[in-house]
Structure formats: C-alpha cells, structure tokens
Structure 1
Amino acid sequence: MLIRLALLLSILLIVSSAALYLVTGDRRYPRLVWQVVRFMVYVLLVFGALYLLERYGLVAWRVLV
C-alpha cells in the first residue's frame, strides 16, 4: 500500500513538473523529474530485493531448520 501511494505521488509530481516545464521553460523541472525517477527506481529495487529475500531466502531457511 505504501509503495502504491509513493508511486501515485511520484507520478503526479512528474506530470506536474513536466507541465510546468512546458509552460515556463525553467530547467529546474526536468532535473526534479530525473531525481524523482531515480529515487523511485532505488526504492523499487530495495523493495524488490526484500520481496525476493522473503519469498525465496526465508522460505528456504525455514525448510532447512
């Protein structure tokens, strides 16, 4: 649920920043979009790694113990 909320907020931020860039032409907005995209990729990689660890690592450990 938190990941969905973070994705929704980041998509809204990206769309609004892109719209503001098209209206104003200020170079801060594409930089902000890039930072948000990069941050969300890192967050998704961390949660994906935790999911894989939980799904395969801990299940295998429970079988061994």
Structure 2
Amino acid sequence: MPPALVKAHQELDKAVDLGYRPQAFSNETSRVVYLFELYTQHTAPLLKKEKKSRRKKMSLPK
C-alpha cells in the first residue's frame, strides 16, 4: 500500500477511535475486541427470548 494511503488509514482509525473513547487503541486486536464487546452489549437485549405464556389446556366435552 502506498505510504500516503497507509497514513490516511491511520489518521482515519484515530479519528474513529476517538468517537468511541478518549484514548487511542494500542493495536488492531484491542480495537476489534472493544468493538465486539460494545456490539454485544447493544444487541443482547434484542436476543432475549420472550417467555411463552402457558395456557391451561382445556379438555373437550365427551
């Protein structure tokens, strides 16, 4: 990758990182771990299973 493009990617990463927290990530792995944990926190409520109501079975007349 051309050096100018590498620099542009690094600057973009820093700008995006600051949108999530005040300090930069130390490496790509820590960034990914942080973002996946954030994703999990925000999507967990969407995955909760609703309890099915248990209806009392009614027997039919004979």
Q: TM-score, normalised by structure 2?
A: 0.35
Q: Point out the structure with the larger helix share.
A: 1
Q: TM-score, normalised by structure 1?
A: 0.34
Greater RCO (CA < 8 Å, at least 6 residues apart): 1
